[in-house]
Structure 1
Amino acid sequence: MLEESGVVTDVSGERARVRTERKRACGNCAVNDACGTSLLEHFFGRRPVELTVLNQVGARVGDRVTIGIRESSLLGAAVAAYLVPLLALMLGAAIGQSLGGAWAESASLLGAALGFVLALLWLRGYSVRLAGRSGYQPSILRRLGPTSAVLAAPSAPADGSA
């Protein structure tokens, strides 16, 4: 299970919005100040990430929570998102090359583009199907406790004067 902590910013039914701080990807790397990832992070900054997650523990606005997703779910989605379009692009190029005859290079480019577009269309349908499965959605695993009063819902004064 991949886990991350964050703060609940909104609750709507069985779902909650959780803000997490993006962790530095290359903090332990020996060349962390010389790589492209570090340069992009320095240029664009690290902004918080907001996720919509399943709220199975009844967390409220302002609660610090731990969210998680299964590794197998993330791996399957990553394979679909990265490997399928790449394979479709290469397969389309190979088919275009073999069927192109005198125009093999042009047919290869056209086949690659067609394969890539078809893979993206398949990926769109695949992601819609996965969105309905709870195993592929991050969820709140546990509450860690309340955070500052800034994120908490406003409460009525104790003396009754409102």
Structure 2
Amino acid sequence: MILETGRIAAIETEGLWVETIRKSACGSCKAEKGCGQSLMNKWDGHSAYIWVLLEGRDPASYQLGDEIRIGIPEEVIAKGALLVYMVPLLTLVIATALAHHQFAQEGITTLSGFAGLLLGGLIVRWHSWRTRLDSNLQPVLVDDSAPLHFYPSAEQH
């Protein structure tokens, strides 16, 4: 589980909007001074807003500006990265290969590759929209009142 600290930016009945500054990876490796990500974070300092489900918790117990911890399972990040990077790449390669095999002209092959890349991006966008409310893919609120259980306990077997 990747943990991040943020401040509550908005409170709704179903969840919280949490403002985080993208800095969790910075400072943890030796390439900090030469890292482009570190430089961009220092330069723009933009915050990211993340939707976190309350999962039955009372929204009245939270206040704007409260600092909370959220967690995102590594599996969600790994699968998401695989989807975001591999689907457009695969559609680009498949469209390029099909166009090259069918037409054998450089211009058509290049345009087909761009069309495949666009198609892959649209597939990722569609999948993202379709799974936007899936609670298994949402960040979770990490607090002491509702401890997280990642593995079944011995009593559940």
What TM-score, normalized by structure 2, do the two folds share? 0.77
State how 1:50-89 maps to structure 2 within 5 Å.
Answer: 50-56=49-55, 57-58=57-58, 59-61=61-63, 62-89=65-92
Kept after mapping to 2: 8 A contact 1:65/1:143 = no
Structure 1 spans left out of the alignment, 5+ residues: 145-162
Which residue in the other structure is 2:7 paired with?
A: 7
1:90 aligns with 2:93: yes
Amino acid corresponding to residue 133 of structure 2 in structure 1? G
Structure 2 spans left out of the alignment, 5+ residues: 146-157
Amino acid corresponding to residue 71 of structure 1 in structure 2? E
* Per-residue deviation, 1:135: 0.7
**What is the alpha-carbon distance in structure 2 between the residues aligned to residue 45 and residue 143 of structure 1?**
33
**What is the alpha-carbon distance in structure 2 between the residues aligned to residue 107 and residue 36 of structure 1?**
36
Kept after mapping to 1: 8 A contact 2:53/2:140 = yes
**What is the alpha-carbon distance in structure 1 between the residues aligned to residue 73 and residue 5 of structure 2?**
15
**What is the alpha-carbon distance in structure 2 between the residues aligned to residue 39 and residue 87 of structure 1?**
31
State how 1:127-142 maps to structure 2 within 5 Å.
Answer: 127-142=128-143
**What is the alpha-carbon distance in structure 1 between the residues aligned to residue 14 and residue 133 of structure 2?**
14
**What is the alpha-carbon distance in structure 2 between the residues aligned to residue 33 and residue 130 of structure 1?**
37
* Per-residue deviation, 1:136: 0.7
The higher radius of gyration belongs to 1
Change in 2 beyond 3 A, CA 1:123/1:107 = same
**What is the alpha-carbon distance in structure 2 between the residues aligned to residue 8 and residue 39 of structure 1?**
26
**What is the alpha-carbon distance in structure 1 between the residues aligned to residue 37 and residue 14 of structure 2?**
36
Identity %: 30
- String of CA shifts for 1:67-107, please: whole Å, max 9, x gaps: 11222122111111111101111111111111113x2x112
**What is the alpha-carbon distance in structure 1 between the residues aligned to residue 20 and residue 144 of structure 2?**
14
1:74 aligned counterpart, secondary structure: helix
RMSD across aligned positions (CA): 2.2
Q: How many residues align?
A: 141
